[in-house]
Amino acid sequence: MNKEISINTEKFSVVLGASGSLGLSLVSHLVEKGEKVRAVTRTPASYWNNPAEIVLADISTLSGAEKACKDASVVYNCVFPPEVEHVIKACLNNRSKLILADCLSIYDCGSGPMNENTPYLVNNRETAKRRVLLENLLISTRKSHNLNFVIARGSDMFGPGVIVSTMGSTIFRNALAGRSSTLMGDIDLPHTYTYSKDFAYAMEQLGTSDKATGGVWHVPSAPTLTTNQFLDLIYTQAGTLKKVRRLGKSTLNFMGIFNPQIRAAKREKLYQFEKPFVSDHSKFSKTFTENITPHEIAIKETLDWFSSY
């Protein structure tokens, strides 16, 4: 049974997707700052341990989005893939600022480090198509109804509770158990990885500042390493021997004959591991204070979390 949301006369922040890694990090950060937070999720998280107001709601419906966002001054949407249609309407009704968490899979990484002006690469990739449509919807709603929004984009995310990601739970649990990890493409190319807590900190800054409105911002990430170097750090801190299985294009083509998930992964993600995939967050750095966790600390915190859950 969904919990009814109490109406509040005070302005406060709402975090959608609050039981995911990014949402949970953002809620914890806001609570630590003493802010009033409503944490919205479809299902409760067993590892929840902060005093935010927790509300169960389905934001894929208009009624659920309106209840979730009621009276919010800022709405942080940490749902992946982004769920926005009804959230936009709710934000307009409440005059809320909308901060949308997003990734870099929309860009052409072949033109060098990716900044907010890097050309988009869509082709036949469904994730890129959806993100173009989403951004166009936000821009058109801003023009027609003065929607106050920001798109916060980070690279492949890792951190406590991150499950579905190139550096998600499978990699960290494999390292802890001394098992081999399987990755696609060339792991000796530079690839930016974004720590979930740094992503959350940046979203809060974008949400509370008038300097950010109506556009895209890349959130800060620690210095870019190759994927192989990043794996070295993970396995070294886990205290196990690194073992990696690499899947090239020909292998993925063969495996994809029998497995539609592998076909989709090749179509949507492989290009990111055939060329350097580097995020440029200099726009953010010139405007806000960076809060970047060194890889060694971020990886230790992530390993500690997966050791406990």
Return phi, psi of residue 226, to 5°: -75, 160
Average per-residue pLDDT in the chain? Answer: 91
pLDDT tens digits, one per residue of 265-304: 677 788 899 999 999 999 999 999 999 999 999 999 999 9
Contacts of 193 (CB under 8 A, 6+ apart): 155, 156, 157, 158, 166, 167, 221, 222, 225, 230, 295
pLDDT tens digits, one per residue of 179-204: 999 999 999 999 999 999 999 999 99
Q: Which DSSP helix (H) or strand (E) runs through 283?
A: helix 282-287
Whether pTM > 0.85 for this model: the answer is yes
pLDDT surpasses 60 at 4 = no
Q: What is the identity of the amino acid at 244? A: V
Class of domain 12-158+194-221+278-292 as given by CATH: alpha beta
- The domain limits of the chain are 12-158+194-221+278-292
Confidence of residue 125 (pLDDT cuts 50, 70, 90): confident
Return phi, psi of residue 114, to 5°: -90, 120
Confidence of residue 12 (pLDDT cuts 50, 70, 90): confident
More confident residue, 267 or 206: 206
pLDDT tens digits, one per residue of 15-63: 999 989 999 999 999 999 989 999 999 877 655 666 788 899 999 999 9
Give the Cα separation of 187 and 227 in Å (integer).
5
pLDDT tens digits, one per residue of 137-158: 999 999 999 999 999 999 999 9
